[in-house]
Chain A
Amino acid sequence: MPFELVPPGTHIDFIGKRRVAATISIALLLAGAIAVFVNGVKLGIDFQGGTEMQVLFEDQVDVDEGAIRSAVSACGIEDSSVIRYGEAAGREFLIRFQAGEVATAGGDGCPLTPEQKEALERAKLSGGGGGDEGEKGETIDKLAYALGNAIGRLEVQRVEFVGPRVGSELRSNGLKSLLVACILILMYIAFRFSVRFAPGAIIALVHDIGITAGIFVILGLEFDLRVLAALLAILGYSLNDTIIIYDRIRENMELRTKFDLVDVLNQSVNQTLARTVLTSGTTMAAVLSLWILGGEVIRPFAIAMAIGIVVGTYSSVFIASPTLLFLERRFGGTSAAVGPASEVAASVRREAPPRRYAGSSKAKRRKKKRR
């Protein structure tokens, strides 16, 4: 006997639990929405603009957040946040601040390197020269030097700076990309399946993005480009799940002339359940190994993906198919379930492109040849 996670003949009444599922989903979405008002949406520097510095102090240096914070504010940067980062036994820190100005005079707290003094002199002599291109960069170099002086030897491992213009562009383009992806998906489903299938998929997608983003807000995690990439990947992933179930629904509809839509939906979800569970499992395994082993820089991506996989899997089973049912009952016609369902089937047959099984026709040809 093959090893089976989901035993054959499993028949869980997923569709019957649609009200429970809808309640849970709406509750989660609401919680997310409330959290947006209560916690506010935390934007990373990608979307908000700002500077981020990852520094690693050398082995023997005794350092904590407070020391760094005071050294940073001695340089005239008041709104900095300093957090421990990475795994280097508490010697690695992430310093973040809004693009601030460093006191150029080089006061006691924020000393300048000889080269910086020289550069400053030169800048004064040539009357500003090339303009203000170096300000932010200088802030970082000065800060690194000041930290080195005040605390101990360190290495700047990573610097990210996003100016306000780039930040707002990334923000609006990011939202645009989510929208464009949704529209493309809608069009593809309308083309491959039926216009009636598309809203269910879209609702599932909006649901996934909404809940994943909501959980991010509730947990107080930050949105940045990595998270956006994960959200788009979740779109693709969740859709994958939904399409596979839809595909089965369509197939089951074509097999029979008369059926009850609820039955067909339930049957389809159950038939694909093993696949749903397995694929979620393997994808989750990959994402978890990224989460645990991939390091700090990639972790936000992995966290968003992991949440998204759970939500996406849940939505394909509990949201996408019931939405189909809901829409059919509401807009599909007035008679009982049987009527609109066969209508769906008819529309599927009408609108779907002819199903060519490339594989099977080739197989037939091969068989003929061999004979």
Chain B
Amino acid sequence: MSLRWRAIWVIATVVLFGYYAVANIASEETRLESPLIPDNALRLGLDLRGGIHWVIGVKLGATEDHELSFLIGLLEDDLERDKVVVGKIEVVDHQLRIETFTDLARDAVREWIGDTEQLVEVGDDPELLTFELSELRRQQVREQGMSQVLEVLRRRIADPMKGIPDSVVTRQGDDRVLVQIPGGSLDRARAREMLRVTGFLEFKIVMDVAQTEELLRAKYPDGVLPENTTVAFERDKETDRVLSAYLVGVEADLTGDYLTDARPGFDNQQRPQVDFTFNPAGGELFQSLTEANIGEQLAIILDDRVYSAPTIQSRIATRGTISGRFTVDEASDLSVILRAGSLSVPVVIEEERTVGPALGADSIRRGLRAMIVGLAVILSFTTFYYRLSGFYASAALAANLLILIGVMSMFEATLTLPGLAGIVLTVGMAVDANVIIFERIREELRAHKTPRAAISTGFSKAFWTIMDANITTLGTAIVLYNYGTGPIKGFAVTLSIGVVTSVFAALVITRLMFAVYPGDRHVESLSI
């Protein structure tokens, strides 16, 4: 490559990344509006921006117990039907224990368990049959538990429409959820309340129904609805178009708080339906509600949205079904939603890192100040010590910083406080490559080589030294990235990118400047 092309290439790189780096100054709105300013920019970590960082542990053991309890319900019904007498049935330590007294009962229970294909027998006490979920089923149950929790938390926190703007809910490992809520938008107490509430699921008896609100209102004099009523809409899932408008009471007749389970099933004609279970208190309420309203429609409302409004066929107690013209998928979706509405899996905050916006802003200010002062000291020292060559190194260091921030902006990397520290550290260590080269050149000059030869040998001899030194640093940074959590990852990111850009700055940018001057000129001495 000729010198000219090399120069063009290097300048283009620096300008491109520098542009990305400088664009961070513009506010987000300006960036998105202006066609000239890139949309990508650094993301500030929660420790700089302020916000709540939660690692939430999901107690999946409880999900297993829950699954076992569900099976107990079915087992009891069937045993009752077949008039099989057993003792106490309970769930202990994620195991199902059934007290039995006769061989007949034992065989019946074992046969029933065998039919479920979900349990395996453990233990050998004939009086007390003990079963566990099979490994496969256990994994399934745990996965379901996780997706349920993710679903609920996403809906409550990270929903693009109703959630908290810019908040993120992601799965972390087997049984953890990472929740990140940027600062200012919500205080801790309210955020915690979002974890706490059991659901926004409501059951309401439908008083009237029409295709649209206008048609519904038209049924009443002057369009005034009866007292204590409101309109709930059933909307098309894709288009959000109103399918039906239901007149319902303001107060829910029953809420999802009492729901313990919901899952897809089939009626006796193999049509998909959703089976749900209330806890005893809910069961009582539901029983009297349905008894009084047979033939009426029951609106099932989630987050102010009617999901279905089946007609009540009979009195329903703890276990009921929602039938409609479901497809298999719809039935399973609805059951997920019902289950999601009730956060039945206990969760616990295992790690929290919350930073107020004021402290975050303060950290940014201090971090920048440390960076600027560090940079100024290093630049002036380098220029003083190596003169023209030092100036080259300083320019390369400045370009290095621009490229580093530019790369991070381009990939929308997250900048954390440790990340900022990583940038400052990079500034300190980046000069190293230049120092290695310059000391080498000085040595060559002392050995009475011409400046041109000294530069050439200096760069070539320093090449692998610089590579070796930086590859190992990159290695430790990558280890740190794999290990680190949250903010510390940010340190690893800036350190790794910084290593790469530093090598580029020293071996390409500084080199180019030497090629421009002295280049091929026969200079008597070198300012180094």
Tell me if A359 and B347 are in contact (CB < 8 A): no
Tell me if A359 and B460 are in contact (CB < 8 A): yes
Residues of B348-380 whose CB lies within 8 A of A: 348-356, 358-359, 362-363, 366-367, 369-371, 373-374, 377-378
B480 CB within 8 Å of chain A:
yes
Q: How many residues of A contact B (CB 8 A)?
A: 94
Within the assembled complex, what's the spacing in Å between the Cα atoms of A115 and B192? 13
Tell me if B350 and A298 are in contact (CB < 8 A): no
Max chain A CB contacts within 10 Å: which of B347, B356, B427?
A: B356
A12 CB within 8 Å of chain B:
no
**Interface residues as binary, B122-141 with A (CB distance below 8 Å gives 1, 0 otherwise):** 00000000000000000000
Tell me if B355 and A181 are in contact (CB < 8 A): no
Within the assembled complex, what's the spacing in Å between the Cα atoms of A303 and B465? 28
Tell me if B483 and A130 are in contact (CB < 8 A): no
Tell me if A161 and B349 are in contact (CB < 8 A): yes
Tell me if A289 and B370 are in contact (CB < 8 A): yes
Tell me if B421 and A302 are in contact (CB < 8 A): yes
On whether A363 and B354 interact (CB within 8 A), knowing A130-B196, A286-B378, A297-B417, the answer reads: no
On whether A119 and B193 interact (CB within 8 A), knowing A177-B479, A282-B378, A287-B425, the answer reads: yes
Tell me if B468 and A192 are in contact (CB < 8 A): yes
Within the assembled complex, what's the spacing in Å between the Cα atoms of A32 and B117? 59
A336 CB within 8 Å of chain B:
no
On whether A158 and B485 interact (CB within 8 A), knowing A140-B188, A165-B57, the answer reads: no
Q: How far is the CB of A353 from chain B (nearest CB, A)?
A: 10
Q: Flag the segment in B65-73, B238-246, B299-307, B438-446 that touches A.
A: B438-446
B509 CB within 8 Å of chain A:
no
B418 CB within 8 Å of chain A:
yes
Tell me if A244 and B469 are in contact (CB < 8 A): yes
Q: How far is the CB of A44 from chain B (nearest CB, A)?
A: 13
Tell me if A285 and B378 are in contact (CB < 8 A): yes
Return chain A residues, CB-CB under 8 Å to B359. Answer: 54, 157-158, 297
On whether A293 and B366 interact (CB within 8 A), knowing A163-B351, A226-B418, A298-B418, the answer reads: yes
**Interface residues as binary, B195-208 with A (CB distance below 8 Å gives 1, 0 otherwise):** 11110000000000
Q: How far is the CB of A247 from chain B (nearest CB, A)?
A: 4
Select one of A3, A135, A233, A359 contacting B384, CB under 8 A: A3
B164 CB within 8 Å of chain A:
no
Tell me if A232 and B479 are in contact (CB < 8 A): yes
**A164 (CB) vs chain B CBs: closest residue:** B350
Within the assembled complex, what's the spacing in Å between the Cα atoms of A360 and B385? 27
B94 CB within 8 Å of chain A:
no
Q: Flag the segment in B215-223, B229-237, B311-319, B470-478 that touches A.
A: B470-478
Tell me if A157 and B189 are in contact (CB < 8 A): no
Return chain B residues, CB-CB under 8 Å to A247. Answer: 464-465, 468
Within the assembled complex, what's the spacing in Å between the Cα atoms of A281 and B381? 10
Return chain B residues, CB-CB under 8 Å to A360. Answer: 456-457, 460
Tell me if B475 and A358 are in contact (CB < 8 A): no
On whether A160 and B421 interact (CB within 8 A), knowing A243-B472, A244-B469, the answer reads: no
On whether A162 and B351 interact (CB within 8 A), knowing A237-B429, A358-B463, the answer reads: yes
A335 CB within 8 Å of chain B:
no
Return chain B residues, CB-CB under 8 Å to A21. Answer: none
Tell me if A244 and B465 are in contact (CB < 8 A): yes
Return chain A residues, CB-CB under 8 Å to B424. Answer: 286-287, 289-290, 294
**B528 (CB) vs chain A CBs: closest residue:** A2
**A241 (CB) vs chain B CBs: closest residue:** B469
On whether A133 and B421 interact (CB within 8 A), knowing A181-B479, A229-B480, A360-B456, the answer reads: no
Tell me if A130 and B343 are in contact (CB < 8 A): yes
Return chain B residues, CB-CB under 8 Å to A357. Answer: 460-461, 463-464
Within the assembled complex, what's the spacing in Å between the Cα atoms of A249 and B483? 34
Return chain B residues, CB-CB under 8 Å to A119. Answer: 193, 196
Return chain A residues, CB-CB under 8 Å to B363. Answer: 295, 297-298
Select one of B374, B436, B470 contacting A290, CB under 8 A: B374
Return chain B residues, CB-CB under 8 Å to A115. Answer: 189
Residues of B42-79 whose CB lies within 8 A of A: 47, 55-57, 59, 62
Within the assembled complex, what's the spacing in Å between the Cα atoms of A235 and B369? 26
Q: Flag the segment in A71-79, A100-108, A168-176, A325-333 that touches B.
A: A168-176
Tell me if A282 and B431 are in contact (CB < 8 A): yes
Return chain B residues, CB-CB under 8 Å to A43. Answer: none
On whether A130 and B347 interact (CB within 8 A), knowing A240-B432, A282-B382, the answer reads: yes
Tell me if A137 and B192 are in contact (CB < 8 A): yes
Residues of A251-287 whose CB lies within 8 A of B: 251, 271-272, 274-275, 278-279, 281-287
Return chain B residues, CB-CB under 8 Å to A133. Answer: 56, 192, 195-196, 346-349
Q: How many residues of B contact A (CB 8 A)?
A: 93
Tell me if B353 and A160 are in contact (CB < 8 A): yes
Select one of A8, A123, A159 contacting B354, CB under 8 A: A159
Return chain B residues, CB-CB under 8 Å to A284. Answer: 428
Return chain A residues, CB-CB under 8 Å to B333. Answer: none
Q: How far is the CB of B152 from chain A (nearest CB, A)?
A: 10
A89 CB within 8 Å of chain B:
no
Max chain A CB contacts within 10 Å: which of B362, B363, B425?
A: B425
B392 CB within 8 Å of chain A:
no
Within the assembled complex, what's the spacing in Å between the Cα atoms of A231 and B189? 36
Return chain A residues, CB-CB under 8 Å to B377. Answer: 285, 289
Tell me if B421 and A298 are in contact (CB < 8 A): yes
Within the assembled complex, what's the spacing in Å between the Cα atoms of A301 and B472? 21
**A136 (CB) vs chain B CBs: closest residue:** B349
On whether A236 and B418 interact (CB within 8 A), knowing A133-B348, A137-B352, the answer reads: no
Q: How far is the CB of B283 from chain A (nearest CB, A)?
A: 14
B27 CB within 8 Å of chain A:
no
Return chain B residues, CB-CB under 8 Å to A27. Answer: none
Within the assembled complex, what's the spacing in Å between the Cα atoms of A163 and B472? 34
**Interface residues as binary, A40-74 with B (CB distance below 8 Å gives 1, 0 otherwise):** 00000000000000101000000000000000000
Tell me if A166 and B55 are in contact (CB < 8 A): yes
Q: How far is the CB of B142 from chain A (nearest CB, A)?
A: 17
**B473 (CB) vs chain A CBs: closest residue:** A236
Within the assembled complex, what's the spacing in Å between the Cα atoms of A210 and B448? 44
Return chain B residues, CB-CB under 8 Å to A130. Answer: 195-198, 343, 346-347
Tell me if B257 and A157 are in contact (CB < 8 A): no
Tell me if A243 and B358 are in contact (CB < 8 A): no
B435 CB within 8 Å of chain A:
yes
Select one of B193, B367, B431 contacting A298, CB under 8 A: B367
Residues of A325-357 whose CB lies within 8 A of B: 355, 357
Q: How far is the CB of A143 from chain B (nearest CB, A)?
A: 12
Apart from A161-B351, A237-B473, A275-B432: 5 A-B pairs, beta carbons within 8 A: A130-B343, A177-B482, A232-B479, A236-B495, A287-B424
Residues of A within 8 A of B (CB): 2-5, 8, 54, 56, 115-116, 119, 123, 126, 129-138, 140-141, 155-163, 165-166, 170, 173-174, 176-177, 180-181, 184-185, 188-189, 192, 225-226, 228-229, 232-233, 235-237, 239-240, 243-244, 247-248, 251, 271-272, 274-275, 278-279, 281-290, 292-295, 297-298, 301-302, 305, 355, 357-360, 363
Residues of B within 8 A of A (CB): 47, 55-57, 59, 62, 188-189, 192-193, 195-198, 257, 343, 346-356, 358-359, 362-363, 366-367, 369-371, 373-374, 377-378, 381-382, 384-387, 417-418, 420-421, 424-425, 427-429, 431-432, 435-436, 439, 442-443, 446, 456-457, 459-461, 463-465, 468-473, 475-477, 479-480, 482-485, 487-488, 491-492, 495, 511, 528
Can you offer 16 A-B residue contacts whose CB atoms are under 8 A? A2-B442, A133-B192, A133-B195, A133-B196, A157-B356, A159-B352, A162-B352, A240-B470, A275-B436, A285-B428, A289-B371, A294-B367, A295-B367, A298-B418, A355-B464, A360-B460
Nearest 3 CB-CB pairings of A with B: A286-B428, A131-B346, A177-B483
